[in-house]
């Protein structure tokens, strides 16, 4: 549990809370607020102060500990700009204007990795401003993007979210988008990229109960390649898994993948502490409901 909570809470405790607490005038003298301390020391202090109920609560999609002033970030959509309006109601019927770029298919058609990186960097800047600005105080820092799925079949219905059907092309552009979202600061991310969906998610029909069946070679050379390429080059802050069953080979045991929450790291990954998979779609919130991605 300790290892799980470390990755869940670090983003909330180190990146999000200081900015929000400063604007709210809160000032609690806890060691976990001291940026001069090592990550392990800060997390140890924070976990030692949390109740069992608070630890369980942080396993969901938003890691917050209100009693201790730890403010977690919600997830936001952002394939081609911060989503703060439109049919999906991300703006809660009160949209905020944000810069919108071509959908992922259009960005893929540019064949320009640096341009895609700059698009994501602009999006990250707007997301952070909306979240930390006292004027807006909305949006979030965990961005559900890029999408490293592959548009192999247009009947999927979400091909506009991805860069194309070629795994090399998708991997290069997913890498560029991740770099843009997370920024170049050696210590802190601008936003936390959530690279999705792992793996073979291009099926909307009963996606919570269906099965994606393919052999080992197709798994390694096609479906997994974009995510592997991006993860090895940029270390995205987080990823969600697909909701379907995956059977990558007849000899392997099929596993039921689900969205699970281990949060994101505030700092760049180090050998001793790495961020991986926050929830996005299947993790229940406090009311037992699932989100959507």
- Whether 38 maps to a domain, the answer reads no
Full domain range(s) for residue 140: 74-256
In a domain, 128, yes or no: yes
What residues contact 243, with CB distance under 8 A and at least 6 apart?
A: 197, 201, 207, 208, 257, 258, 259, 281, 282
Max Cα–Cα distance, the chain, nearest Å: 58
**187-244 per-position pLDDT tens digit:** 889 999 999 888 777 766 776 677 777 788 888 889 889 999 998 898 888 877 666 5
Does 58 reside within a domain?
no
Instruction: Identify the CATH number of the domain in which residue 89 sits.
Output: 3.20.20.300
Residue 101 in any domain: the answer is yes
- 263 is a domain residue: no
More confident: 12 or 58: 58
pLDDT, tens digit, for every residue of 270-281? Answer: 332 233 444 444
Specify if 212 maps to a domain.
yes
Model confidence pLDDT, tens digit, residues 110-160? 999 999 999 999 999 999 999 999 998 888 999 999 999 998 888 888 888
In a domain, 64, yes or no: no
Whole-number Å distance between alpha carbons of 290 and 277:
16
* Domain assignment of residue 266, yes or no: no
How many domains does the chain fold into?
Answer: 1
């Amino acid at each position: 549990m300790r290892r799980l909570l470390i990755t869940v809470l670090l983003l909330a405790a180190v990146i999000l809370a200081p900015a929000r607490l400063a604007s709210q005038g809160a000032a609690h003298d806890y060691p976990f607020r001291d940026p001069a301390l090592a990550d392990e020391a800060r997390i140890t202090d924070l976990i030692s102060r949390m109740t069992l109920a608070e630890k369980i609560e942080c396993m969901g999609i938003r890691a917050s500990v209100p009693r201790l002033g730890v403010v977690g970030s919600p997830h936001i959509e952002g394939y081609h700009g911060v989503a703060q309006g439109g049919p999906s109601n991300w703006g809660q019927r009160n949209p905020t204007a944000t810069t919108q770029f071509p959908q992922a298919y259009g960005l893929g058609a540019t064949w320009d990795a640096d341009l895609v990186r700059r698009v994501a960097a602009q999006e990250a800047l707007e997301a952070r401003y909306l979240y930390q600005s006292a004027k807006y105080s909305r949006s979030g820092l965990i961005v559900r993007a890029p999408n490293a799925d592959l548009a192999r079949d247009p009947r999927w219905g979400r091909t506009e979210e991805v860069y194309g059907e070629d795994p090399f092309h998708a991997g290069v552009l997913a890498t560029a988008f991740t770099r843009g979202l997370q920024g170049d600061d050696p210590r802190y991310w601008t936003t936390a990229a959530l690279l999705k969906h792992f793996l073979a998610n291009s099926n909307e029909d009963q996606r919570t109960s269906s099965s994606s069946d393919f052999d080992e070679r197709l798994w390694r050379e096609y479906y997994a390649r974009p995510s592997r390429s991006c993860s090895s080059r940029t270390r995205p802050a987080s990823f969600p898994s697909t909701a379907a069953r995956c059977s990558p080979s007849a000899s392997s045991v099929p596993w039921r993948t689900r969205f699970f929450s281990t949060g994101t790291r505030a700092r760049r990954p180090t050998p001793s502490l790495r961020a991986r998979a926050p929830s996005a779609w299947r993790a229940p919130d406090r009311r037992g409901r699932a989100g959507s991605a």
